[in-house]
């Protein structure tokens, strides 16, 4: 699915607890400058009227009639029905609000609402990291292609989305991909998000420095300290990202065992990948120990750090050879190495979410047709 030349327009929204940012996309490009309005998170009437006002403002700036509204909105929610549940950061929505049906009546357009982690993964699968990886494989002459992707957002929290053969996997309760609830390897009484988030990096750095967590610098500053660019406790900074990576690598290993696809990481912490990505891949390439002491690989597939040039080349090359078809003189190309890759978003989290919202709307419309 390639929507770069698609003439259809979809209105979008980036909904936050403080502000809501409205726009529109056409042919995978933003065609209306951002329109930012206060969300009014604690007043349902004002919040809903703001949503209508924002989309009307976008519609007034368009040169063609939009075909849909599509956006990310916090959960819990019944996303297919467009019903938003009890939101911790948007208290006005307590009790359930039929947001999608309301907007459909106001604008006479189909409305698609999803979780931001899901739309991030969909954007990366349709127009981001998955086409990038498959493009490299095609250019090298490899027969290998990937159809499945696990998209992760690593920042304030730890989110995920799953795309299988071009389709976003939502689950029966719209809660597939809730990776933040996996058990934390390094503290089994807690969930993984306590080691996979901005607060985790700050907490570990503070612990290593003997300070209170609220006294710790920002993750960006901790990264700069770890890279030796600014003054600070470099050992503690490196430890903070390495420890986070061990926990995250364990969680990804559990998830990817069931998905078997490319892994792409976005979110606010992704910019510090130099300090954590090699350790994530190391954890994924680790082993289990049998009761008799023998070891075996944790994952069947080899895992490569696709941000490392050397590993990227090995991943692309694989183990391709030609084998003879029994009883025939013909040969077929065979890549015998089972392998997975982990990389960092090339298009950025925000753009991936917008492209995911755009593509999801068009794909859904086409399927209905």
Instruction: Spell out the per-residue pLDDT of the chain, length 369, in tens.
Output: 788 899 999 999 988 778 889 999 999 999 999 999 998 888 999 999 999 999 999 999 999 999 999 999 888 889 999 999 887 777 778 888 999 999 999 999 999 999 999 999 999 999 999 999 999 999 999 999 999 999 999 999 999 999 999 999 999 999 999 999 999 999 999 999 999 999 999 999 999 999 999 999 999 999 999 999 999 999 999 999 999 999 999 999 999 999 999 999 999 999 999 999 999 999 999 999 999 999 999 999 999 999 999 999 999 999 989 999 999 999 998 999 999 999 999 999 999 999 999 999 999 999 887
Residue 335 covered by a domain: yes
187: tokens are 């503290």
Give the integer Cα–Cα distance in Å for 278 and 167. 29
Residue 218 covered by a domain: yes
The verdict on 138 and 223 lying in the same domain is yes
Residue 121 covered by a domain: no
Give the β-pairing of 9-15 and 19-26: antiparallel
The verdict on 154 and 103 lying in the same domain is no
How many other CB atoms are there within 10 angstroms of residue 254's CB atom?
15
| Domain enclosing residue 102, as ranges | 9-114+364-368
Beta bridge partners of 288: 296
The verdict on 288 and 154 lying in the same domain is yes
Beta bridge partners of 162: 150, 169
The verdict on 90 and 145 lying in the same domain is no
The verdict on 338 and 279 lying in the same domain is yes
Residue 355 covered by a domain: no
Question: So what's the pLDDT on residue 92?
Answer: 79
202 CB-side CA count, 13 A: 15
* Number of continuous H segments (helices) and E segments (strands) in the chain: 10, 18
Residue 237 covered by a domain: yes
CA torsion sign for 90, 93, 94, 98 is: negative
Query: What does the longest C-alpha to C-alpha distance in the chain come to?
Result: 74
The verdict on 19 and 54 lying in the same domain is yes
Using an 8 Å Cβ cutoff, are 10 and 25 in contact? Answer: yes
The verdict on 107 and 253 lying in the same domain is no
The verdict on 336 and 224 lying in the same domain is yes
Residue 359 covered by a domain: no
The verdict on 323 and 175 lying in the same domain is yes
245-279, pLDDT tens digit by residue?
Answer: 999 999 999 999 999 999 999 999 999 999 999 99
Give the integer Cα–Cα distance in Å for 46 and 38. 9
The verdict on 148 and 296 lying in the same domain is yes
Give the integer Cα–Cα distance in Å for 293 and 11. 58
Residue 135 covered by a domain: yes
Domains in the chain: how many in total?
Answer: 2
Question: So what's the pLDDT on residue 41?
Answer: 81
Question: So what's the pLDDT on residue 185?
Answer: 97
Query: What is the helix (H) or strand (E) element at residue 222, kind and residue range?
Result: helix 219-226
The verdict on 13 and 152 lying in the same domain is no
3: tokens are 């929507």
34-52, pLDDT tens digit by residue?
Answer: 999 998 888 999 999 999 9
Residue 1 covered by a domain: no
Question: So what's the pLDDT on residue 78?
Answer: 93
The verdict on 209 and 104 lying in the same domain is no
190: tokens are 């807690």
Q: Tell me, what CATH number does 87's domain have?
A: 3.30.420.40
């Amino acid at each position: 699915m390639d929507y770069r030349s698609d003439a259809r327009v979809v209105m979008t929204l980036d909904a936050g607890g403080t502000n809501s940012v409205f726009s529109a996309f056409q042919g995978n490009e933003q065609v209306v400058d951002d329109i930012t309005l206060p969300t009014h998170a604690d007043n349902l009437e004002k919040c809903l009227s703001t949503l209508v006002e924002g989309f009307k403002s976008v519609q007034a700036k368009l040169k063609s009639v939009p075909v849909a509204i599509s956006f990310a909105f916090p959960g819990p929610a019944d996303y297919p029905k467009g019903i938003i549940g009890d939101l911790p950061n948007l208290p006005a929505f307590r009790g359930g609000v039929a947001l999608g049906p309301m907007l459909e009546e106001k604008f006479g357009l189909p409305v698609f609402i999803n979780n931001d982690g899901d739309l991030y993964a969909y954007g990366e699968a349709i127009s981001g990291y998955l086409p990038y990886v498959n493009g490299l494989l095609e250019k090298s002459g490899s027969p290998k292609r990937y159809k499945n992707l696990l998209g992760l957002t690593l920042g304030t929290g730890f989110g995920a989305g799953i795309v299988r053969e071009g389709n976003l996997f939502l689950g029966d309760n719209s809660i597939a991909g809730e990776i933040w609830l996996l058990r934390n390897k390094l503290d089994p009484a807690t969930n993984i998000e306590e080691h996979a988030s901005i607060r985790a990096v700050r907490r570990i750095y503070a612990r290593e420095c003997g300070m209170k967590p609220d006294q710790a610098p920002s993750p960006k500053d901790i990264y700069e300290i770890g890279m030796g660019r600014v003054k600070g406790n470099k050992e503690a900074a490196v430890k903070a990202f390495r420890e986070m990576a061990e926990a995250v690598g364990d969680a990804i290993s559990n998830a990817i065992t069931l998905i078997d696809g490319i892994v792409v990481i976005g979110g606010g912490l992704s910019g510090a990948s130099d300090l954590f990505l090699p350790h994530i891949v190391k954890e994924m390439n680790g082993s289990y120990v049998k009761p008799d002491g023998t070891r075996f690989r944790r994952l069947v597939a080899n895992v490569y750090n696709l941000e490392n040039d050397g590993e990227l080349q090995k991943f692309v090359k694989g183990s391709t050879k030609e084998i003879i078809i029994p009883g025939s003189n013909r040969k077929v190309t065979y890549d015998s190495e089972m392998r997975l890759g982990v990389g960092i978003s090339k298009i950025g989290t925000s753009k991936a979410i917008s492209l995911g919202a755009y593509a999801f709307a068009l794909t859904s419309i086409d399927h209905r047709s």
